[in-house]
Amino acid sequence: MKLGVNIDHIATLRQARYVGDIDAHNAEPDVLGAAAICERAGAEGITVHLRADRRHIQDADVFRLRERITTKLNLEMGNTQEILEIALRVKPEDVCLVPENRREVTTEGGLDVAGQLEALRPTVSRLRAAGVRVSMFIEPSFEQITASHALRVEMIELHTGAFANSQGDAQLAELARLRDAAVFAHSLGLQVNAGHGINYTNIALIRELPHIVELNIGHSIVARALTAGLGQAVRDILAAMQRP
């Protein structure tokens, strides 16, 4: 499994003080510096979500990351014309289309691809024409996987939130859903990624799933970085991703 580190919450901390002034000489923490640390520690990609409300990552962050990172850029975005035009200018390697609700604290579930096929089709077509690989952030549902395949995207990212938020038998049931979804998506030729709520404990179950190519992890890494340092936090999660 490859690791993409989501650095949104590095920007969240910066925005808590430097809203509207990210270029101030003393604006910190440094999003670009954080991305570089993650790469040096072994991350194989940097993930950011450019939200419509710009609550953390800002437009300038995305353009600067595009210029500076040495791995790949995975841009998460809602299906809006404004953000699409930015994505087409930035041309990240990957775009992951996600649902977006301005009142949510974090992404609350998967994108309803099956219910939004016609709205998503032009966006997917324009991104793919620009040479950008497209992923759909979806629940582990055969219906959503089939709809994603119908849009001819290259990838899906399975939303692991329900798994992360459950315990005991309920968590094992969610793990089984993820496993079945991964097998089905792989059979259709889709690359299978996963993310949301994965941490240093539950990753022991996630790493046993078949066909998962990439994990996108953010909050847990940034939280550990407060005490262990960002580089060590990335190295720790990479070690935990390895099957014993």
Least confident of 19-23, 132-136, 238-242: 19-23
Q: Is 196 a catalytic residue?
A: yes
Is the full-model pTM beyond 0.85?
yes
Q: Tens of pLDDT along 205-237? A: 999 999 999 999 999 999 999 999 999 999 999
| CATH code for the structural domain at 2-241 | 3.20.20.70
Given pLDDT bands bounded at 50, 70 and 90, which one contains residue 86? very high
Identify whether 211 is a catalytic site residue. Answer: no
- Indicate which residue of 9, 49, 149, 159 is catalytic: 49
Confidence bin at 104 (pLDDT 50/70/90): low
The one catalytic residue in 56, 149, 159, 196 is: 196
Q: How confident is the model at residue 103 (pLDDT cuts 50, 70, 90)?
A: low
Per-residue H/E/C for 45-104:
EEEEECCCCCCCCCHHHHHHHHHHCCCCEEEEECCCHHHHHHHHHHCCCEEEECCCCCCC
> How many other CB atoms are there within 10 angstroms of residue 17's CB atom?
11
Domain locations in the chain? Answer: 2-241
Nearest to 194 by CA among 164, 221, 173: 164
Q: Among residues of the chain, what percentage have pLDDT more than 70?
A: 97
- pLDDT reading at 85 higher than 60: yes
- Please say if 56 is a catalytic residue: no
List the structure tokens of 236.
């720790």
Catalytic residue among 39, 76, 157, 174: 76
Q: What is the DSSP string of 120-166?
A: HHHHHHHHHHTT-EEEEEE-S-HHHHHHHHHTT-SEEEEE-HHHHT-
Q: Which residue has the higher pLDDT, 62 or 21?
A: 62
